[in-house]
């Protein structure tokens, strides 16, 4: 029932559960990341755009958790096309690390710019400043454009995901290409009061949020919940003590498309 991780070629394994940090700034970001590391998360998700890399890095150093035990993702905004090296150098300096574990193009740049940007990310990976590189908010067609041009597949695509957005064809499309699916906004995309989630949660003595997280993990989809509430930071991390049955997994799958 361990939470587990997914292998990434040339990089440390990526824990299936990570801690999201969007909208956490300043002291709140620092404190939340300290709480998360204390609670047991070993995977942190940030981005140039979040404006909190310095706080994330400081929290990691102050936590005493060895750097190599924590999987660190950051992202470059599409608008920084042409300034990739400088952007990664700024991220590494703010985070206080020699290399990030995963560096993503935050969203597809405008037409014609995606392939050159991808080549620049690959060059940084080859230089050892990012252990793996990938994309976010890309469609399968946009991923195929990168593969066709470079013969290099993004390690990860970070996309909006949750039970309502569940689509086995999207998962299969990524898996056929060897791209790990990482879901974001697991709670914002979910009605946590849904009776299906409530029933399953009560059967396991947990809250609906944990059912949603456990559902991701059992589908081997990486999930990065955010919370600024100390109690939720802890409970969201406690998803290793129960397992959803096949029927329960299907019941959550069937929330797809519901509004
Ligand atoms: N690549 C992209 O374009 C992209 C876009 C969006 C997000 N992301 C990443 O994905 C992460 C997660 O997504 P997100 O921040 O949009 O949303 P989320 O994790 O789905 O939801 C966060 C919200 O859920 C609440 N929450 C947390 N735990 C809860 C619980 N146990 N029960 C009920 N409510 C709970 C939080 O409240 P409190 O904070 O008050 O506890 C917060 O309001 C981000 O932080 C970011 O790292 C990436």
Kindly state if the Cβ of 225 falls inside 6 Å of ligand 1. Answer: yes
- Whether the pTM exceeds 0.95: the reply is yes
Average pLDDT, the chain: 97
Q: Compute the radius of gyration of the chain from its Cα atoms.
A: 18
Based on the residue annotation, tell me whether 41 is a catalytic residue of this protein: no
The band of 1, judged by pLDDT with boundaries at 50, 70 and 90, is low
pLDDT for 214 equals: 98
Tally of CB atoms within 10 A around 48: 18
The ligand 1 atom nearest the CA atom of 187? 20
Q: Coil, strand, or helix at residue 152?
A: coil
Rounded to 5 degrees, φ, ψ at 156 are -145, 145
The answer to whether residues 18 and 236 touch, using CB atoms and an 8 Å cutoff, is no
The answer to whether residues 53 and 18 touch, using CB atoms and an 8 Å cutoff, is no
Kindly state if the Cβ of 137 falls inside 6 Å of ligand 1. Answer: yes
What distance, in Å, lies between the first and last C-alpha atoms of the chain? 31
User: Roughly what angle, to the nearest 10 degrees, separates helices 208-218 and 246-253?
Assistant: 100
Task: Please give the helix or strand (H or E) that residue 225 lies within, else none.
Answer: none
The band of 209, judged by pLDDT with boundaries at 50, 70 and 90, is very high
In whole angstroms, give the CA distance from residue 38 to residue 90. Answer: 27
Distance 188 CA to ligand 1 centre (A): 6
In whole angstroms, give the CA distance from residue 207 to residue 231. Answer: 12
Question: Whose CA is closest to atom 5 on ligand 1?
Answer: 184
Distance 74 CA to ligand 1 centre (A): 16
């Amino acid at each position: 029932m361990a939470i587990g991780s997914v292998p990434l070629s040339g990089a440390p394994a990526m824990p299936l559960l990570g801690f999201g940090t969007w909208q956490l700034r300043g002291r709140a970001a620092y404190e939340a990341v300290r709480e998360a590391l204390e609670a047991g998360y070993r995977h942190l998700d940030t981005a140039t755009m979040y404006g909190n890399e310095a706080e994330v890095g400081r929290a990691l150093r102050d936590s005493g958790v060895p750097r190599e035990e924590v999987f660190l993702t950051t992202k470059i905004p599409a608008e920084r096309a042409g300034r990739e090296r400088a952007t990664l150098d700024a991220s590494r300096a703010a985070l206080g690390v020699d290399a990030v574990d995963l560096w993503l193009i935050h969203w597809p740049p405008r037409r014609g710019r995606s392939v050159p940007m991808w080549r620049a990310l690959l060059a940084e990976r080859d230089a050892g400043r990012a252990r793996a590189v990938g994309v976010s908010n890309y469609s399968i067609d946009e991923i195929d454009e990168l593969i066709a041009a470079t013969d290099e597949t993004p390690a990860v695509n970070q996309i909006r995901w949750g039970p309502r957005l569940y689509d086995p064809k999207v998962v299969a499309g990524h898996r056929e290409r060897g791209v790990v699916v990482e879901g974001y906004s697991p709670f914002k995309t979910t009605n946590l009061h849904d009776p299906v989630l409530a029933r399953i949660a009560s059967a396991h003595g947990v809250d609906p949020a944990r059912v949603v997280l456990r559902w991701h993990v059992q589908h081997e989809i990486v999930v990065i919940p955010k919370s600024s509430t100390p109690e939720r930071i802890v409970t969201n991390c406690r998803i290793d003590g129960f397992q959803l049955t096949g029927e329960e997994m299907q019941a959550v799958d069937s929330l797809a498309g519901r509004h």
